[in-house]
Structure 1
Amino acid sequence: MRLQIYTQAIWRPRVPSSNRVRSSFPQTTRALIFAGLTAIGALTSGSTFAGDIQQGEKLYKACKACHQIGEGARNGVGPHLDGLFGRVAGSIDGFKYSNAMKAKGEDGLVWDEASLDQYLAKPRAFVPGTRMSYLGMKKPEDRTAIIAYLKAQSVAAPSVDPTAAAPARAEIGSAAMQIEGDAEYGEYLSSECVTCHQLSGHADGIPSIVGWPNEAFIRALFEYKSNIRTNQVMQNMTLNLGNEEIAALAAYFGSLDPK
């Protein structure tokens, strides 16, 4: 009899510890925990770059001066951004990229959410020698938002003839835009410009003006001349420049290739 009791004690099946813990929770509590874990899994399994498109649109306002996107987008100070995702870096025909950006493309850099995130965080660190003077976007959530906006716009609105120059509009500087500038005269006038702006096209704290399209260059100078842009040095520099001089400077700097 004692042997039978002893044997039963030895061979009595033990409940695994995980089952014992599980049984200590009411069924409703276990259901809530499961639902919570499922929700977390669903959130983390989604796109890392599913940012706030409306916030991205607000952030993009700072980019508009250089980059066009949407219907009729064309190259300007910077390349247009339609069809950006999946594009090889430095590959738009007719746009004057820096040698650094072209080299990145030749090395296999393709623009996608991950590469754009790194570039926007600190452009000069990701592409040393880039002409882009933007210092970087520190907040990850801001980068996520602007990438989401760019992706939505780039897919939704392909550009129309992106390498063609936009027709001269009735706008500030339109008279100078229709003048064929004298590049040699522009070189003569450029001595004061190159005290700050590098002929190499590098942008070490001061934006590059090398390789700009004529219209964009002329528009910028007239905006300084008319106090639309507020840099005091540039306002003083452009004060006495006429249409011929501004067109000449645009022709000269536009003829240069960034290094």
Structure 2
Amino acid sequence: MCFLRGLPAALAAIFVAGAVAADQIGDRDAGEKVFSKCKGCHEVGQGARDRIGPHLNGIFGRAAAAHADYAYSKSMTRAGQDGLVWTIETLDAYIENPRALVSKTRMSFRGVKDPKDRADVLAYLRGFSDNPSDVPEAEPTARATDHDLDPAILALKGDAEYGEYLSSECLTCHQSDGSADGIPSITRWPTDDFVVAMHAYKRKLRPHPVMQMMAERLSDEEIAALAAYFKDLE
């Protein structure tokens, strides 16, 4: 039985040839555009850092949950212990449907169904795995300030215990385990990202009316407390 059966043709070709060059997976330039769907949680390229999800430099050939200093879900950690390694085949399956490969992953993403889009984004990511010590620059790692929030608000140190007390209203919609059922996960967010988002709702820059109402009722200290609590919530 051929183990390549069922793989997209662009992906099967790389196994037949035994090659790993990015341009033999898909179109890297097209893949950069597809990666825009991932930028809310992941960075790649020089200066990439962990955000809601780990950065993706050097992802190819790495065991699942093996990136140091990132707090993975128990399910992802277990998958790595069971031998899951990120290859063309496993990454393709994960990007198509994250929960098909890791059932309780915190990755709140419905997946990329188009085989060509998956092949293209894998070609793009492959370019940041060949030489992790000399990773090329990438637009997704740019961190230009996208808000004019007072730095003093971002500098507030939130009380996580107080945040837990305040969190019950948030958890009527959002899941504490980070899963998503049509409602985005808010666990493991960097505190700055959480605070900026909440103040954007407060200022009605983000359009969700319920979130606008919720944010408007919160003080700066309460938003900081919620950010501190959800940052480390397992």
1:153-192 aligned at under 5 Å gives the runs 153-155=128-130, 158=135, 171-172=148-149, 174-192=151-169
Q: How many positions carry a matched residue from both structures?
A: 208
Contact kept? 1:223, 1:229, Cα under 8 Å? yes
- Alignment-derived partner of residue 116 in structure 1: 91
- Alignment-derived partner of residue 216 in structure 2: 239
1:229 aligned onto 2:200:
no
Tell me whether 137-146 or 191-200 shows the greater mean CA deviation: 191-200
- Alignment-derived partner of residue 59 in structure 1: 34
- Alignment-derived partner of residue 103 in structure 2: 128
Larger Rg belongs to: 1
Q: 1:104 to 1:234 in 2, by over 3 A?
A: same
CA apart distance, 1:169: 9.8
1:220 aligned onto 2:197:
yes
Contact kept? 1:211, 1:254, Cα under 8 Å? yes
Separation in structure 2 between the aligned mates of residue 46 and residue 173 of structure 1, nearest angstrom: 53
Question: What TM-score do you get using the length of structure 1 for normalisation?
Answer: 0.72
1:80-91 aligned at under 5 Å gives the runs 80-91=55-66
Residues 199-253 of structure 1: per-residue CA shift (max 9 Å, x gap) = 2222233222223221222222223333443333222221232321111001111
Separation in structure 1 between the aligned mates of residue 146 and residue 208 of structure 2, nearest angstrom: 25
Tell me whether 49-58 or 136-145 shows the greater mean CA deviation: 49-58
Question: What TM-score do you get using the length of structure 2 for normalisation?
Answer: 0.79
Percentage of identical aligned residues = 49
Letter in 2 for 1:113: I
Contact kept? 1:89, 1:105, Cα under 8 Å? yes
- Please list every run of at least 4 consecutive aligned residues from structure 1 whose deviation after the TM superposition is greater than 4 angstroms: 44-49, 168-171
Alignment gaps of 5+ in structure 1 = 1-40, 160-165
Separation in structure 2 between the aligned mates of residue 173 and residue 101 of structure 1, nearest angstrom: 37
Contact kept? 2:108, 2:178, Cα under 8 Å? no
Separation in structure 2 between the aligned mates of residue 224 and residue 203 of structure 1, nearest angstrom: 20
Residues 131-173 of structure 1: per-residue CA shift (max 9 Å, x gap) = 01100111100000000011113446549xxxxxx9x998536
Alignment gaps of 5+ in structure 2 = 1-12, 137-142
